[in-house]
A = this chain, B = another copy of it.
Amino acid sequence: MISVVLLGAGNVATHLYKAFSNSETISITQWYNRTRSSISSYANDVAITDTLEDLIEADIYIIAVSDDSIAQLSSDLPFTNRFVVHTSGSVAMHDIDKKNQIGVFYPLQTFSKAADINFSEVPICIEVYEKENLQLLKDLAIAVNCKPHKITTEQRQTLHLAAVFVNNFTNQFYRIGHEICETKNIEFEILHPLIEETAKKIQDMSPFMAQTGPAKRNDKKTIKRQLKLIEKEEHESIYKMLTASIKKTHGVSNFRPRKGQTKTN
């Protein structure tokens, strides 16, 4: 049995709470949040507190608060030499106060309070300073049916950067697609199957291989026609930049004489 104290009440903390509650090998000893009301609805199921001095002993303390608050909260902890981890994709492990043993337990997923997550498919990136704590983090990940990945701080921060591209930026393209549909009274839902298939496709082939469309084909007519159709300047700039990026990736950006073809002056 792994005993856990959870600190924070945001999206990640809430999803961790649910996943831990469903595990038979994890016991949530306590749930702390500085505002008691955010977690008071769970008071029947778990010991809750808004006072750091009341924290009791546990195998691991998981800080799941906003990036900017991690360092301060970790230094406010009224104990030493226990095992304290944060759950952030971008904050350095060493931002946690060294009076305790430190580590990172970063679930690489997008968490909204509204959306239920199948936690068993979430990769957990783990990092420890004291090697003897590695197994505990691995066990914790496995206890919620997740795959632990031991990585370095630099790798985690790089993954977090890549995640911004494939998640936040991708979602913004969904948003732009939505906006474009609205201008002509088209239901955005008609694009849902395409969006799902685009994401599904790269589970089996590389994004490079999966690419299709006018930019990859260097179909100048369609590109010109689409640029005319765009109403917002911002969408136009993004269209141009991404078209150039795809062309570059697929080597269609410059004139390259074909075999046997020569330049005529």
Contact = CB atoms under 8 A, between A and B. Distances in A.
Interface of A: 11, 67-68, 90, 108-112, 114-115, 117, 121-123, 125, 149, 151, 154-155, 157-178, 180-181, 183-186, 188, 190-216, 219, 221-222, 225-226, 229-230, 234-235, 237-239, 241-242, 245-246, 248-249
Contact of A161 (B171, B221, B229): B229
B193 A123 contact: yes
Mostly, the A contact residues are helix
A203 B222 CA distance: 28
Given A162-B177, A203-B196, A229-B157, A238 B242 contact: yes
Given A193-B109, A234-B248, A246-B172, A177 B201 contact: no
Contacts of A165: 173, 176-177, 180, 235, 238-239
A174 B160 contact: no
Given A196-B203, A221-B68, A159 B173 contact: no
B162 A109 contact: no
14 contacts: A109-B194, A112-B201, A115-B210, A165-B176, A168-B213, A171-B202, A171-B210, A172-B211, A178-B206, A192-B202, A196-B200, A198-B199, A234-B248, A241-B241
A90 B222 contact: yes
Contacts of A214: 90, 164, 168
Contacts of A238: 165, 169, 241-242, 245
Nearest to A166: B177
Contacts of A169: 173, 238-239, 242, 246
